[in-house]
Structure 1
Amino acid sequence: MNDVVSYKRDGEIGVITINNPPVNALGHAVRQGILDALAQGTADDDAKALIITGGGRTFPAGADIREFGKPPQEPSLPDVINQLEASKKLLIAAVHGTALGGGMEITLGCDYRVALDSAKMGLPEVHLGLLPGAGGTQRLPRLIGAKAAMEAIVAGKPMKAAQLQKMGVVDKVVSGDLMAQALDYARQLVAKDAPLRPVRDLEVKAESADIFSDFEKSIARKSRGFLAPFHCIKAVQAATESSDFEAGLKRERELFAELLKSPESAAQRHVFFAEREVAKIPGIDKKTAKRDIEQVGIIGAGTMGGGIAMNFLSAGIPVRVLEMKQEALDKGVALIRKNYEATAKKGRMTSDQVEKCMALLDTTLAYDDLSEVDLVIEAVFENMKVKKEVFGELDRVCKKGAILATNTSTLDVNEIAQSTKRPEDVIGMHFFSPANVMKLLENVRGDKTSDEVIATVMALSKRIGKVGVLVGVCNGFVGNRILHKRQHQATQLVNEGATPAQVDKVLFDFGLPMGPFAMADLAGLDVGWRIREGLREDDPANAPEYNWLDALAEQKRWGQKTGGGVFDYAEGDRTPRPSDVTAAEIEKYRKEKGIETRDVSDDEILERCLYVMVNEGAKILEEGIAMRPLDVDIVWIYGYGFPVYRGGLMFWADQVGLDKIYAKIKQFHEEAGEDEWKPSALLEKLAGQGKGFGDL
């Protein structure tokens, strides 16, 4: 026996316990330990049946991620499950916690399954660009039918014990003491001489000839660009095409191997690890004290302020919202309730949960009522003067130790902090719109922000369901700074002869959820216009020149909210349609500037829009605004919809080749002479060394 798997007998029932904290990951030692314990239990003549369970807080929650990318060690998980299934003694899985991936596949290798009512099971491999590779695509269809299995495997979501019992995966759901109930269940099975029930011996048939093609069509839009969902469908289909279980397993292994070697899976696995790594801040000790956040204040009850409030309310944290007028407060509260009720109508929360969230919401018209909050976030107009006035008031009224946060998307957090006597307590918390939906939270560290405040806000990000990324201070931080460069190139391409629809289509086809101009219409053309107008007023020498986007904004063509922006929109329809008004403004601008148009290729659009982003990302890394390439990747995936199957901006650049990207950037710089095309020193260095951002 080894240290991570034990065998003991309780009366006539043998118990195999996996004890590999924290989540009983199925590493090599565990796999070998299961086989050793199985052999011991099989040889134990006094054991009439065997239970396999997890010690500690969970049944095995999946593979050992430390083994990812390393040469496989025998025994493999498929071999372990095959041997469990071949056992001549009745085998019962007793499940608590989360049995995910290989953990669930182990349960499918057993004859019977009993689960605690709080347990969850699922096959999430699709989110790593893989499929269940230890027989899951072959056994689950035999247990619950091809259609239900295919849907569960492609969704990759954990399912609750009650749902699993209804589907036919779990035989018995229990509450209280799992082990006591599992032993009792095992003894009942032994007493009635229950048969061995290897899942591989069950018959599986497709419910209809069209279920696979119909399902592919139904997921085509959502799964655009991903490979794994469609390989999962093929694997389940293989289970229905032959009564030979081994033939199905062989096909599963072939499809798994294809995915493992695919760029899509490599990208998805990079994102998986990056999302976990991004929470670890170099230079800040894990033991750094964190402040208690028990009540939050929010300045502004508009769309952004209300969305921010919902994050905390949904996490059970009381919120007090401040506005200058009662009318604005009433409107903001009504919108929050409307959003919650819309969620309830979709079945994602109950009416009781709506009322619990709303009961945590309080409002005020007076700054003094924020004196006891632990964190306050301002979400007012994007204007430095206004924000400094707000922070001056917060400095006056907030208690010692309160964290003062700004939701600014572009402004200098250090300058905002200077309007207080406690810059160490000031930090940026840049939520993305809609704030109650978007997962990214750009936490902006000022020059004097304390480690304690940083540690608190990063931990709080996770508590409210966000992916927090720590960034430094510059105009636009990481996300918007890169975005502004892309938007400028998109506009330039239209100036030179492309159409907005052509530019948008190229980037949509690349995998982004929408193109730059449809995105501008969604955000509102007035937002960028007001920022540009502010720059023209504050810094005329460095302000952006007037262009056709400004002309549209001045006509109150602000995008979807006004029925027209760069594109036209029909009432109740968000589909962008080419606009004659926009075409006329573009043509007018070209004539005024004396621009002779030309045909612009799709390849040029892709290279100019994306390579300028890579170059800016490299400059951000040079300056230390982002600490690691993976920080840039996560910002762009969760803030702007960069395709997960491409792994993020910097990961994708490595796949293209930095030498190729650098050569093009150098060419664009020579042709255009624009400063944004000046190659990053870091990019030049890595390209010259034949390295990538992943080598940093």
Structure 2
Amino acid sequence: PSVAAIDGPALGGGLEISMVCQARISTSNAQLGLTELQFGVIPGFGGTQRLPRLVGLTKALEMMMLSKPIKAEEAHELGLVDAVVSPNDLLNDARRWALDICESKRPWVRALYKTDKLESPEVAREILNSARVQSRKQAANLQHPLVCIDAVEEGIVSGPRAGLRKEAMAFQELFFSGTCKSLIHVFFSQRATSKQVPGVTDLGLMPRKVSKVAIVGGGPMGSGIATTLILSHYPVILKEINEKFLNAGIGRIKENLQSRVRKGKMTKDNYDKTLSLLTGVLDYEKFKSVDLAIETVVENVKLKQQIFAELEQHCPSHCILATNTSTIDLDLIGEKTNSQDRIVGTHFFA
């Protein structure tokens, strides 16, 4: 007999090899999962057949469809792992387990032929069809999750040997597909970019805290954004071009807050405290201390270009310059500035 001793990640082929063994012993550090779908392929060493027979069809599909590993304790509860032991005892306990199997003190288990965790054909069919519907909703253009479900179904309907044959043929076909190549490229690209660059500290990669926000334009959109921000305890500077427009914008914000008071969602005391976070201005003098500036004026290219040139001049160099535009290219908006690297589009939804 063979017993898998697992300490750390047993993902993909690692778990598949361990499922061939007659038992699996792990430490609490173990993580077990079939993560092949994130690479555009399906488990190719019997995983589609053995995992459902060890943990049940529903859990097996969840683990494969989501490429979601589980921890040792959960694996033990499910029956995927036979025992969880300390790292110091792992090898000795695994050897002892194998000897117990030889001496008939423990059962000789062949996961491929287990049936006690499998649902009836009717229930299994419902579970598989539900998984197909969910897969199409989440990724309508990806075929390999559906191929994985088909391989699982083949094993349940026609037996594990037939399932293994279908799995092997499907794996070979998917391995050479464009989807597989693309997803593998994405995986290694993410790993490459996550590595620390020499001379760049983690501290430098931490996002800067936003302590104060400026909004240019007090129309319905600008006043709505300002309301959202002060309700989230951010000090806000609201700029307009004249007193009339500024008073109108502040009036909208007051009405938004008063509506909450009338509905019992805000006390009068909180209303006053929240409104005190708002400052109305007619120039850019106070913009020198903001961390985020949001432009919300009408969809006019020249006007937006002028505003961003002014924002660049008056905001600190670290300030994020944001536009609420829905139709205008950001490169065009920032064309008159030297700060295109910090211009972003932002949208708020009620």
TM-score by length of 1: 0.34
Once the two structures are superposed, what CA deviation does each residue of 1:241-276 show, in whole Å capped at 9, x if it has no partner?
466x55432232022234345xxx423532552576
Change (3 A) 1:416 1:425: closer
| Match in the other structure for 2:6 | 93
Tell me the equivalent position of 2:89. Answer: 184
Q: Does 1:322 align with 2:224?
A: no
CA contact (8 A) 2:293 2:320 kept: yes
1:229-378 equivalent positions in 2, closer than 5 A? 229-241=145-157, 245-260=160-175, 265-267=177-179, 269-274=181-186, 277=189, 293-296=207-210, 299=214, 320=234, 322=236, 324=238, 325=250, 328=253, 365=279, 368=286, 371=289, 373=291, 376=292, 378=294
Kept in 2: contact 1:231–1:255 (CA 8 A) = yes
Which of 43, 46, 68 is residue 132 of structure 1 equivalent to? Answer: 43
User: Which string of whole-angstrom CA distances, capped at 9 and with x for unpartnered residues, describes residues 84-135 of structure 1?
Assistant: xxxx454311125xx4322332443442142435x54332323343211111
Indicate if the aligned counterparts of 2:15 and 2:32 stay in contact, CA closer than 8 A: yes
Alpha carbons 2:309, 2:336 under 8 Å: kept: no
1:141 to partner: Cα distance: 1.6
CA separation of 1:280/1:167 partners in 2, compared to 1, >3 Å: closer, same or farther? closer
Distance 1:112 1:168 in 2: 9
Give the Cα separation in 2 of the matches to 1:268 and 1:90. 32
* Alignment partner, residue 122 of structure 2: 210
Pick closer, same or farther for the CA change 1:305–1:152 going to 2, 3 Å: farther
Amino acid at match of 1:93: I
Distance 1:389 1:225, change over 3 A: closer
CA contact 1:146–1:207 (8 Å) conserved in 2: yes
Amino acid at match of 1:273: H
Q: Label 1:278 to 1:91 Cα distance change in 2 as closer, same or farther (>3 A).
A: closer
Change beyond 3 A, Cα 1:228–1:425: closer
Higher relative contact order (CA 8 A, sep 6+): 2
CA distance in 1, matches of 2:34, 2:223: 37
Matched, 1:114 2:26: yes
Please give the secondary structure, in 2, of the residue aligned with 1:91. Answer: strand
1:416 aligns with 2:327: no
CA contact (8 A) 2:11 2:33 kept: yes
Distance change >3 Å, CA 260–CA 212, structure 1 → 2: farther
Q: How far apart are residue 164 of structure 1 and its match?
A: 3.2
Alpha-carbon distance change, 212 to 187 in structure 1, aligned in 2, over 3 angstroms: same
Where does residue 273 of structure 2 map in the other structure?
none
Instruction: Summarize the alignment of residues 653-672 of structure 1 with structure 2, pairs less than 5 Å apart.
Output: none
Query: Take 1:275 and 1:91, find their aligned partners in 2: how far apart are those partners?
Result: 28
Q: Given that residues 95 and 113 in structure 1 are in contact (C-alpha distance below 8 angstroms), is that contact kept between their aligned partners in structure 2?
A: no
Per the alignment, do residues 251 and 304 of structure 1 end up closer, same or farther by CA in structure 2, a change over 3 Å counting? farther
Count of residue pairs the alignment pairs up: 288
Secondary structure of the structure 2 residue equivalent to 1:210? helix
Would the alpha carbon gap of residues 255 and 293 (structure 1) be closer, same or farther in structure 2, given more than 3 Å must change?
Answer: closer
> CA offsets, 1:623-674, max 9 Å, x none?
xxxxxxxxxxxxxxxxxxxxxxxxxxxxxxxxxxxxxxxxxxxxxxxxxxxx
How far did residue 143 of structure 1 move?
0.9
Report the Cα offset of residue 136 of structure 1.
0.8
Quick one: which amino acid aligns to residue 94 of structure 1?
D
Whether the 8 Å contact between 2:174 and 2:180 is mirrored in structure 1 is: no
Deviations 1:590-616 (A, max 9, x none): xxxxxxxxxxxxxxxxxxxxxxxxxxx
Shift of 1:323: 5.5
Matches of 2:253 and 2:17, distance apart in 1 = 56
Letter in 1 for 2:166: R
Gaps of 5+ in 1: 1-87, 175-180, 310-317, 336-362, 436-560, 562-696
- Asked if the contact 1:92–1:114 (Cα under 8 Å) also holds between the matched residues in 2, the reply is yes
Matches within 5 A, 1:20-39: none
| Equivalent pair of 1:402/1:425 in contact (CA under 8 Å) | no
What residue identity is the alignment partner of 1:389?
Answer: I
Separation of aligned partners in 2, 1:246 and 1:240: 10
SS in 1 for 2:121: coil
Name 2:13's counterpart in structure 1: 102
1:153–1:320: structure 2 CA closer, same or farther, 3 Å change rule? Answer: same
Matches within 5 A, 1:244-643: 245-260=160-175, 265-267=177-179, 269-274=181-186, 277=189, 293-296=207-210, 299=214, 320=234, 322=236, 324=238, 325=250, 328=253, 365=279, 368=286, 371=289, 373=291, 376=292, 378=294, 380-381=296-297, 382-384=299-301, 385-386=303-304, 388-389=306-307, 392-393=310-311, 395-398=313-316, 401-407=317-323, 408=325, 410-411=328-329, 413=331, 416=334, 418=336, 423-424=338-339, 426-430=341-345
Offset of residue 377 of structure 1: 5.4
Deviation at 1:182, TM superposition (A): 2.4
Which amino acid is 2:15 matched to? M
Change (3 A) 1:153 1:291: closer
Which string of whole-angstrom CA distances, capped at 9 and with x for unpartnered residues, describes residues 192-237 of structure 1?
Answer: 7543755436512641222443234423241534322222122222
State the AA in 2 paired with 1:402: H
Rounded to whole Å, the distance in 2 between the matches of 1:212 and 1:302 is 53
Number of the residue aligned with 2:263:
none
Matched to 1:129, the amino acid is G
Contact 1:113 1:170 in 2 (8 A): yes
Q: Aligned Cα RMSD in Å?
A: 4.7
For 2:51, the aligned partner's letter is L
- The aligned residue for residue 156 of structure 1 is 67
8 Å Cα contact 2:213/2:290 also seen in 1:
no
Structure 2 CA distance for partners of 1:123 and 1:428, relative to 1, 3 Å: farther
